[in-house]
Structure 1
Amino acid sequence: MTESPAPRSTTPEAAESAPAPFTAADYRARMARAAESAAEAGLAGVLVAPGPDLTYLTGYRPTAITERLTVLVLVPGGDPVLVVPALEAPDAAKAAGAAAFTVRDWTDAKDPYAVTAPLLDAAGRFGVSDNTWALHLLGLQQALPGTSYASLTEALPMLRAVKDPHELARIAAAGAAADETYGEILKVRFAGRTENDVAADLAALLLGFGHSQVDFTVVGSGPNGANPHHEAGDRTIEHGDMVVLDFGGLKHGYGSDTTRTVHVGEPTAEERRVHDLVREAQQAGFEAVRTGAACQDVDRAARKVITDAGYGEYFIHRTGHGIGVTTHEPPYMIEGEERPVVPGMCFSIEPGIYLPGRFGVRIEDIVTLTEDGTGRRFNNTPREMALVE
């Protein structure tokens, strides 16, 4: 056993072929689909501020998000327009999708909302990206008091949900890198080290295997594992601890997210039973991914296993969430979500049992529905309990 992972200055990433970049045609198709979806939803258009939606639709990621208005305007039947501060215009013009949209800039001496207003129906209802600054939304409302707005999560929740083959390849690469990370972390000593130490190892490994961004490294040892979103802390991991490892980030612009629960030394019979139960629930959720299933069916299948075994009150979160250019996005695998699972949707299946003050267990894979109507996992490391030192 080593105290920490060996440095990985040379990794499989070096030999891995980077995916072909998305083209202006790709972004043009995405923007057209967003405008069409808006019309089908009864919206006059879509307004997209800097953030994951803008990156997904245009390939443009501003270097800084400030109080200056930057907004992509998509209206059915109209050409896409990106309104930007003049100082951003050169960078916007270089964006991968720039050939598919027009740049309209404004200077600090002008009112950006007055510049944007002529592009919008003065009495329309618009979908607005969730991370739009209130400052800008209020500015548009003042310039166009007859308009109204809805968040894109509410109005167009499936905007980014269905991935094309190029996106699926990126998610597969991110999942494989997370799997490599898990394989390496099993070689690391746990007992006597802090959760923060192991979390740092996970982050280094994700970056070593090609991630450009680490979003989270949850290390929940012993009683901390009973908190599903426990952040790694200074608790020293002890022999006899169950340890929840949940980690992920972005590779090639798309997310990874996987969870495995390991044990330091030999587990008790109860710990093995709970772990096996969660593994059975995770498998049931995966088997529910098929043509004709609704998102809630995945949740129901996993939850039934845990509830029937008498642990239902200790499964305290939804079974899954979508993943793509962000690690959490629609669709959600939860009771009441009747939206059908369709080919290309990518989402987690991550049931868990959390016994307060004692330990927790969670097992998570990213999954998609294939064109042949069956599920495909993007994480393929063993789901059986691994024993670590």
Structure 2
Amino acid sequence: MNTLALEKLQEAIREEGLDGWLFYNFHHRDPLADELLGLSVDSTNSRPWFYMVPERGNPVKLVHAIEASILDSLPGTKVLYSGKDQLNQSLRQFAGKTLAAHRDNNLPVISFLDAGTTENLAHAGIQVVSAASLIQRIKGLLSEEDLESHKRAALGLYEIVEETWQVVSEHFHTNKTLYEGDIQSLILRGMEKRNLFTDHPPIVAAGAHAGDPHYEVSRKGSPVLKGEIIQLDLWARESGQRAIYADISWVGFYGTEIPSPLKAIFQDLVDSRERALDYINENLSRGIRPTGAAVDREVRKLLIARGYEGAIQHRTGHGIDTECHGSGVNIDSIEFPDDRKLLDGACFSIEPGLYFNDYGFRTEIDVYIYQNHAYISGKERQFTLLTP
């Protein structure tokens, strides 16, 4: 870690009004700690270490005597211990301070600090609070370079949807058999052609399978039948350590005459997506930074008012960064309620979904906050169901 990186950590700590950020690891159980501090995951970590970054001044490294060099790449004063009593005594130097750590009652995705260590910190007189907002500021807010990477990935995904649906349409009009796995392969080839990489094959779900939000194709999957809904969900990023994901979902109807009830349901879903976007910009224009939970509540309110409470199975969206489900704000008030604010540089999905026994819909766009306004990445978003 260089001086610039340390200053960035300390600036985030001051922005959140905290005394410091307490990093901890044991057997590399906290990948975020290793990532944020730039530590090798291959180093031997058989004993706990702590790294306390104060809001100002020199950090403190608490390391075991037999692994004394494990934090040598980091600035700060080194304090050695060889037993539990020594470690606890060393931790007492931070008594009375409010320190952020990787634990959060609502966000298990960043909760790596175990309960026993949390108790030991409390006994040392340390007030431990969630580091979720700090993690967002350091990892979940994108630079302009990051945003360009994200936008390129998003543009590629939109193009892949267009190309894929052309092939789907050709199969429909020529009465060729088409399987879910065929569509999935088309999407993966489109990614390969554009040098985009994904951590998991895209979701392609036809008919009743579209009612399963995380349906996975097995082998070729099922044949797509005329009159069925086809749900597409694809995510990918460019190569490189700092490449940023894009993640979109589109819905098609494998037929030429869409039944009126399906049109109506999809329109309600689109309305809820657009309400999320409007709500964010309405608040930002008034100088208010909405939280992820508040945006999710707006979407749910609209869908519940239109009679869909039983068809909602998941949150409205998730943070996006170098991971598809990133460390920034989630648009979530019900699964993992997220009260972090949407700051400039935040990037996230808006993907309301409605699921029934015979079909399901999910429309997903990616949004980023730039200079106090919410923008959509990629090309023109979906307003009507795709048809052949």
Give TM-score scaled by structure 1 length: 0.71
- Between the aligned partners of 1:209 and 1:83, the Cα distance in structure 2 is 46
Are the equivalent residues in 1 in contact too, given 2:180–2:223 (CA < 8 A)?
yes
1:341-356 equivalent positions in 2, closer than 5 A: 341-355=342-356
- Between the aligned partners of 1:368 and 1:76, the Cα distance in structure 2 is 28
Aligned-pair CA distance for 1:219: 2.2
Q: What is the letter of the counterpart of residue 147 of structure 2?
A: L
- Root-mean-square deviation (Å): 4.2
Aligned-pair CA distance for 1:103: 10
Q: What is the letter of the counterpart of residue 238 of structure 1?
A: V
Q: What is the letter of the counterpart of residue 112 of structure 2?
A: T
Are the equivalent residues in 2 in contact too, given 1:158–1:331 (CA < 8 A)?
no
Match of 1:74 among 49, 53, 60: 53
Structure 2 equivalent of residue 233 of structure 1 = 218
Find out whether 1:263 has 2:253 as its counterpart: yes
Deviates further, 309-318 or 218-227? 309-318
Q: Secondary structure at the match of 2:349?
A: strand
Match of 2:160 among 181, 206, 225: 181
Aligned-pair CA distance for 1:367: 0.6
Are the equivalent residues in 2 in contact too, given 1:171–1:254 (CA < 8 A)?
yes
- Between the aligned partners of 1:195 and 1:70, the Cα distance in structure 2 is 49
Aligned-pair CA distance for 1:242: 1.0
Distance 1:138 1:188, change over 3 A: farther
Distance 1:280 1:362, change over 3 A: same
Structure 2 equivalent of residue 202 of structure 1 = 187
Structure 2 equivalent of residue 313 of structure 1 = 310
Structure 1 equivalent of residue 106 of structure 2 = none
Are the equivalent residues in 1 in contact too, given 2:208–2:360 (CA < 8 A)?
yes
Match of 1:168 among 147, 153, 157: 147
Find out whether 1:253 has 2:238 as its counterpart: no
5+ residue gaps, structure 1: 1-22
- Between the aligned partners of 1:132 and 1:339, the Cα distance in structure 2 is 19
Aligned-pair CA distance for 1:339: 5.0
Match of 1:242 among 208, 218, 229: 229
Distance 1:274 1:143, change over 3 A: closer
Distance 1:83 1:59, change over 3 A: same
Structure 2 equivalent of residue 359 of structure 1 = 359
Match of 1:47 among 11, 14, 23: 23
Aligned-pair CA distance for 1:202: 3.2
Distance 1:25 1:297, change over 3 A: same
Structure 1 equivalent of residue 379 of structure 2 = 380
Aligned-pair CA distance for 1:362: 0.8
- Between the aligned partners of 1:77 and 1:133, the Cα distance in structure 2 is 24
Structure 1 equivalent of residue 14 of structure 2 = 36
- Between the aligned partners of 1:286 and 1:156, the Cα distance in structure 2 is 24
What are the Cα deviations for residues 340-389 of structure 1, in whole angstroms up to 9, with x where unaligned? 4333222211112111x111111111112331x4321113244032235x
Structure 1 equivalent of residue 268 of structure 2 = 277
Q: Secondary structure at the match of 2:315?
A: coil
Structure 1 equivalent of residue 105 of structure 2 = none
Structure 2 equivalent of residue 7 of structure 1 = none
5+ residue gaps, structure 2: 103-109
Find out whether 1:222 has 2:207 as its counterpart: yes
- Between the aligned partners of 2:278 and 2:319, the Cα distance in structure 1 is 17
Q: What is the letter of the counterpart of residue 180 of structure 1?
A: E
Distance 1:111 1:262, change over 3 A: farther
Percent identity of equivalent pairs: 16
- Between the aligned partners of 1:200 and 1:87, the Cα distance in structure 2 is 48
Distance 1:154 1:343, change over 3 A: closer
Q: What is the letter of the counterpart of residue 228 of structure 2?
A: D
Aligned-pair CA distance for 1:274: 1.9
> Greater share of strand residues, 1 or 2?
1
- Between the aligned partners of 2:206 and 2:250, the Cα distance in structure 1 is 12
Find out whether 1:132 has 2:112 as its counterpart: yes
1:137-152 equivalent positions in 2, closer than 5 A: 138=116, 146=124, 147=126, 149-152=128-131
